[in-house]
Structure 1
């Protein structure tokens, strides 16, 4: 079954916030020969945008709605709000709709009463999506909407990600008592507050996404500068081929080798806040470049076919010196995406990667 798709109602807007304009420049790119033509055709038009004008972010107050899957919102009749479709596939949308249709017929289905801010979207299990897309929604509503009994709907996670989510929320003034963790099961809400226009993954990030992260990082002391090499061993995929050789090279040049996937949120922030140069594999851990000081050199080692502008946007917004090194794949796919193979970093590029030469 496929739902009818509708736009959010204009009369439901309760707040309009101006997102500041900002300028951008293309990344310094090495290994361009490993960037497939179909991927380049998507990335290069975005990289070539030199100015992002001021934009409008709106907060909607919706009544009697259903939330399913990764933040899909349906009205009381089962129509899907188009603005909540964020990289969901047709199959996922159909599955969510069928679940909502079934739930609407359940006589025992309960309703969550009172205002609830939607802080759940596609990418619920990814640290980067939480920190740059979901947490900023919570922050905007928390800071701009005065309403009694406000709670925040987030995705249910476990392990270090769940710990990071809870700590980051508390750091911006939202205690666990105001949080509703939810899985994919449809839930009915009397009132949902929804932020639209803050991000459009791959195409736009408002500078306002940095506000909660700066608030979280501000109290953490600044340590002495260090250069860091960011690895992904804890994930088990998208690793560097000949990694031990690369680690030795980095250590000889004074780098500290880290795996943020094994660290607490506070330790990650402290580490990246003091970094004088950051080299790392494109992935969630590199989200932490947002805590680096402006002008810090960032080198992202990326799979040739990975269609991603996320870290370029972060570098632009934070004012970082950003370089992307595209690498050929080696070995089998170990993750969920075709680019989740090991990566071969050409030794001829060690100079520009680690020394900036």
Structure 2
């Protein structure tokens, strides 16, 4: 049985902020002819929007609700707050709904709710992705921590892999949030007497509020910029979305004065320092390139991108940050090595290799 979608009640909203409007321009895309038409159309509606108008960002306070899987929130009847659906598939929603109904009905009575005080929902679809955390979940924590300090809020975060878990902890601490006030949760349904949620900061692929930059700027505020002016961000240790003959590409990058960066080997403060000090950044599209949010306005960013990857996430970051942004779309080669069809090896032509590092 599919859950009934419901909206946040007007009387649940305890804070409304104005997210400023902003101008945007069509990105500089090299090899756009390689992009399948259906993929291009999925991106162009955002790319062709010259002005994103002011909109409201709301903080709502809900009583006696369930949180399941990656941040889906249900009321005591099992109805689903539509504002918490963030790229969840129908199957994921159905599984969460079934788990919540089972929890409500166990033994003829519901589980006892968490009554330790208000807790903020800081988990959504994409818990295991650094970019989703930094640009879509962490900003919620910063907003509530900044604007509602007297509530004594706790923070509900997702269970993430080890390296990402470290980055999540670092980022919260760098915002001045006591890690003792965090609750780490897996997919199991949990009942809360007092839950806060933030709505309107982002819609993955469709919108990103300028307010998300406040969290990044707070994280970076006390970090001294690194000494490398030029960075080449590699994904070779991930095993997916690797450049064919990347060793040669690394040699070319080094010859142009670029420093090789493999973010998985660095702590969050080390990553922030490097990107904060860089004016030229080249990298393969992936979570680590989220760090361009720490680059100074005007920095030149070249994102090496699978031809068939439908993504506006990094374009939004570059637009809000005022970066000189280029995507070089790359032909895809070989088998799919990850979970998505664009998780293949990438072919970067000799001309595009020179173009990426020129200047």
Q: What residue ranges of structure 2 are gaps of 5+ in the alignment?
A: none
Per-residue CA deviation, residues 125-162 of structure 1 (Å, 9 max, x unaligned), is 00000000000001111111244442110001231111
CA distance in 2, matches of 1:249, 1:285: 21
Q: Which residue of 2 aligns with 1:80?
A: 80
CA contact under 8 A between 1:232 and 1:261: conserved in structure 2? Answer: no
Q: SS at the partner of 1:185?
A: coil
CA contact under 8 A between 2:104 and 2:110: conserved in structure 1? Answer: no
CA distance in 2, matches of 1:262, 1:187: 34
Per-residue CA deviation, residues 195-226 of structure 1 (Å, 9 max, x unaligned), is 00000111110011011111111111123342
Where does structure 1 differ by over 3 angstroms across 4 or more consecutive aligned residues? 146-149
CA contact under 8 A between 2:226 and 2:275: conserved in structure 1? Answer: no
Q: Which residue of 1 aligns with 2:125?
A: 122
Q: Which residue of 1 aligns with 2:113?
A: 111
CA contact under 8 A between 2:118 and 2:196: conserved in structure 1? Answer: yes
Q: SS at the partner of 1:232?
A: coil
CA contact under 8 A between 1:130 and 1:165: conserved in structure 2? Answer: yes
Per-residue CA deviation, residues 12-53 of structure 1 (Å, 9 max, x unaligned), is 111000111111111111011110000111111211111111
Q: Which residue of 2 aligns with 1:342?
A: 345
CA contact under 8 A between 1:299 and 1:324: conserved in structure 2? Answer: yes
Q: Which residue of 1 aligns with 2:328?
A: 325
CA distance in 1, matches of 2:226, 2:80: 48
CA distance in 2, matches of 1:257, 1:223: 13
Note the C-alpha offset of 1:108. 7.1
The reply on whether 1:19 has 2:19 as its aligned counterpart is yes
1:202-221 matches, within 5 Å, as 202-221=205-224
CA distance in 2, matches of 1:217, 1:59: 25
The reply on whether 1:351 has 2:354 as its aligned counterpart is yes
CA distance in 2, matches of 1:32, 1:152: 42
Q: Which residue of 1 aligns with 2:281?
A: 278
Normalised by the length of structure 2, the TM-score is: 0.97
The reply on whether 1:28 has 2:48 as its aligned counterpart is no
CA contact under 8 A between 2:225 and 2:275: conserved in structure 1? Answer: no
CA contact under 8 A between 2:282 and 2:356: conserved in structure 1? Answer: yes
CA RMSD of superposed structures (Å): 1.1
1:139-154 matches, within 5 Å, as 139-154=142-157
Per-residue CA deviation, residues 247-302 of structure 1 (Å, 9 max, x unaligned), is 11111111111111221001100111111200000000000000101000000000
1:60-71 matches, within 5 Å, as 60-71=60-71
Q: Which residue of 2 aligns with 1:175?
A: 178
Q: What residue ranges of structure 1 are gaps of 5+ in the alignment?
A: none
Normalised by the length of structure 1, the TM-score is: 0.98
Q: SS at the partner of 1:328?
A: strand
Q: SS at the partner of 2:135?
A: helix
Q: How many residues align?
A: 356
